[in-house]
Amino acid sequence: MRLRAGRTAALLLALCAVASAQTPTPAFETASVRPAPPGADPNEGSWSPPNTGRFTATHLTLALLIQLAYGVDNSQIANKPAWLETNLYDITAKPEEGIKLSREELKPRLQALLKERFHLIAHTEMRDSRGYALIATKTAPHLTRTKGEHFPGFRIDVSSGHMEGSNWTMPYFARMLTAAAGFPVVDKTGIDGSYDIRFLYASNPDADSTLPSLTVALKNATGLELKPEKVPVETIVIDSVDKVPTGN
């Protein structure tokens, strides 16, 4: 006997709902979350590189942990309590067997950890913000395509004007430029693939420096430009969050 179209659709929806319910949200297998010791130095804050099979964060603010969990810049977090950028925390967490913890594997697990231990409740909004579009110039961009297989790496020091990365896509490069530009940067280059990028720029254009400004250094090194404009920015809006994490 044939099922009618309506009953067939309803059955498919029910099966999808069951499959969805049976798929657990990725979470760390074990995790220790503690406030950093008194006198901890935020300048010594660090976290483990991707693909090491473990997440370790030392002396990090919750604002920075949210950035890592959601893949956003600090300017993309709204409704922040003042302590979010001052209180420091230490985290050691281990995923299930076989998970190397790439950046994409880390995000849902760290999001779940922040919800569980800090009772973080947040929602996402798209907001227009002052920023820059990363665009290709009229002349052809001169980019060094990544050769071989290796994980994305980076060295960014805004204070010294050092920008260096390997295996970067253009959207990722735009994110890395955000801190240096001081406003959100979105990719509008239309360029696919991954590239190795390195250049130095004057972090303080008003100071006596032999280095070019960020925009000039960027154009010289890559043939790309930053165009000022209002850009749509994904914003994490905090609804509520606890200062003290729950016990381990």
Q: What pLDDT does residue 1 have? A: 40
The domain total for the chain is 2
Shared-domain flag, residues 170 and 191: yes
Domain match, 182 and 109 both: no
Please give the DSSP secondary-structure letter assigned to residue 188. -
Q: What is the pLDDT of residues 74-103, one digit of tens each?
A: 888 999 999 999 999 999 999 999 999 988
Q: Are both 67 and 36 inside the same structural domain?
A: yes
Pairing of strands 121-136, 185-187: parallel
User: Are 178 and 203 in the same domain?
Assistant: yes
Are 108 and 136 members of one domain? no
Residues 113 and 144 in one domain: no
Q: Domain end: 96, 119, 142, which one?
A: 119
Mark whether 220 and 143 lie in a shared domain.
yes
CB 72 within 8 A of CB 178: no
> How far is the C-alpha of 98 from the C-alpha of 149, rounded, in Å?
20
Nearest to residue 209, comparing CAs of 163, 159, 174? 159
Residue-wise DSSP of 203-246: S-TTS--SSPPHHHHHHHHHSEEEEEEEEEEEEEEEEE--SSPP
How does the average pLDDT of the chain come out, rounded? 86
167/75 same-domain check: no
Instruction: For 172-193, write each residue's pLDDT tens digit.
Output: 899 889 888 988 899 999 999 9
Residue bearing the bigger pLDDT, 123 or 14: 123
Q: Which domain holds residue 171?
A: 127-234
